[in-house]
Structures are given as C-alpha cells and as structure tokens.
Amino acid sequence: MTIELERRLVVFDDPAEGDLLATIAREHGAGIEPVRVRVEPVTAAFVIAAATVAAGIVTEFYERRQGGQVIDLRPGASRAVYRDRGVTFGLIVILTQDGAVTVEVYDPSNAFLDVARDVVQALTSIAATEAKNAIEAATEVTGDRGTVTRDDPGGSLPPNPQNPPA
C-alpha cells in the first residue's frame, strides 16, 4: 500500500524555529523541506509526512514553540497562568512568594498539556502561595509523569509586580 505523503507549510516567527520543527519531524520519522524564494525573505519550511502525522507535527510545533508553562502564585501577579517561550517546553515553572518550583514532564510531546492542566487546577483549588504547598500539590497530581523540584532558594525570581526588589 502506498502511503500518501502530505506537504504542509509551516511559517516561523524566527528562523531558529526551523530547528525545533526539524526535531519534531525527526521524532515522528518525518522530514522537512526548507523554503527559499527569490523574492521577499521568508522563514518557512514544508513538513513532509503522511497526512495524519503531518497534522500532528504541525500542531506539536505550534504547541512547543509556545514554550513552557508558568504559574505565578505570588499575590498581585498580573498574569497567573501563561506560556513563556523563554521556558523550555516540557517544564512547568511555579512562582511562589518564597521561591520557584519546577515540574519537569518526562514525555512532553504526549503529556505536557495534561500535566500542566492538572497542576494548574490543583494549585488554583488550594489557593497556595508558598513553595512547600505548591510542591505538595504538584507532586500529587504529576505522579510518575514527571519530577517536581524546588529551585535554589537563593536563586532570583522574576520581579513581583506588587513587591518590586529594592
């Protein structure tokens, strides 16, 4: 049986995203074709794969390029839950009033969104603002899908909008 391959165009915001797409495609046993046109600058590539796989690759690319999950529990935080391209996809960073907690998901391609959703729900339901509460809640819902660690207490956190550093 011949598998019909599909060619899907993926447009990057940044040329470096080409590496991410190539990685994802490789993970799925697919390939990408670079795009170069002799007119305006373009930053895009074609994904070549079976139709269903190609769709999954593109979805994952757009998902993964959003970066990791940030949950800001600190009082007065302007945004509590958001994706940050500066945070590696597969990590969930929980900012508490006394430090940061990181959840590393073992199989981000398949489990990241689920774990992130569970962690968000758990933390918002207990209204925790301290690291130890966050660690407990996150560990419980993450289970064997990842590890939860507390960052170096002496490490710096992003500034709290209500209590800027002196």
Partner 1 sequence: MKYPGLPPVGADGPESAWTRAGRDLPAAVDLLTREFHRKATAVAGVKLIEALRRKGDWSRAQGTVARLDAIATSTNDRALTHFSVGTLRWTAGDALGAREAYERALVGWTELGDAVGTAAATVGLARSLRLTVHESGPQTATQGYDLAQRCADAHVLADAARELSAWALLRGDHDAAAHHAREALEIHEGGSDTYLVGSAQILLARAWHATGNRDDGVTMMRDVVASARDIGSVDLELTASIFLGQFLQQGVTPDHPSWNEAVALLSEALDRAEDPVTRAEILLPLAHLWTASNQLEQAAAAVDEYEQMYLLVGGNRIAMANIAKARARLALADGGQFQYGAFATLRLGREGLRARRLFKKAERLYKTADLQTGAASVRWHRDLLATLMSGRPQGRSAARLPWVKGDDPLIAARIAFVAGEQARLSGRPNVASDRFAEAETLARSCGATQLAVGAAARGAETAYAQRDFATAAASARRAVRYTDAIRGAVADGHARGTFARTIRAHYERAATLAARMGQPELTIEVLERLRTERLAGLVHQRGVDDMPADLRSLLDQLDELNEEIAQSQGSAGLVRSALARAPARRPAETSELEGRRETLRDTLRERTNALFAHVYDANMLDTDALFNALTTHLLTVCPVTGVDGDELVAAWRAPDGRGGTATVSVAEDVAHLRDVLTRGGLEGTYGRIQLTWQSLGCLTPLLPAGFRDELREANAPVQVLLVVSGWLWQVPFAAIPLGTATGPPLLVDRSDLVYAPSLRVHHLLEQRQHNDRARGRSAVSFGDPALEASELAGLDAFAAHTTLRDSGEVADAFVHGGDRWDLGVLAAHGDTEAGLAQGVFTEDGTRILTAADFLRKDAAPPTELSFAICHGAAAFGPDPHEPLGLTLAALSAGARAVLSTHFELESGLEVANGCLERLYSALADPARVPGRSTGLRSVAQQLAMLQRQPVLRTHPLARWAVLCVVGTTRSDGDWGARSS
- The residue ranges that bind partner 1 (CB under 8 A) are 5, 7, 9, 11, 33-42, 44-46
Query: Distance (Å, rounded) from C-alpha 26 to C-alpha 79?
Result: 35
51 vs 126 by CB, closer to partner 1: 51
For residue 161, give the amino acid letter.
Answer: P
10 vs 73 by CB, closer to partner 1: 10
Q: How far is the CB of 18 from partner 1 (least distance, A)?
A: 11
Q: Which residues neighbour 38 within 8 Å (Cβ) at sequence distance 6 or greater?
A: none
Q: How far is the CB of 6 from partner 1 (least distance, A)?
A: 11
The residue assigned the tokens 């993450």 is 142
Q: How far is the CB of 34 from partner 1 (least distance, A)?
A: 4
9 vs 113 by CB, closer to partner 1: 9
Q: Name the phi and psi angles at 126, rounded to 5.
A: -95, -5
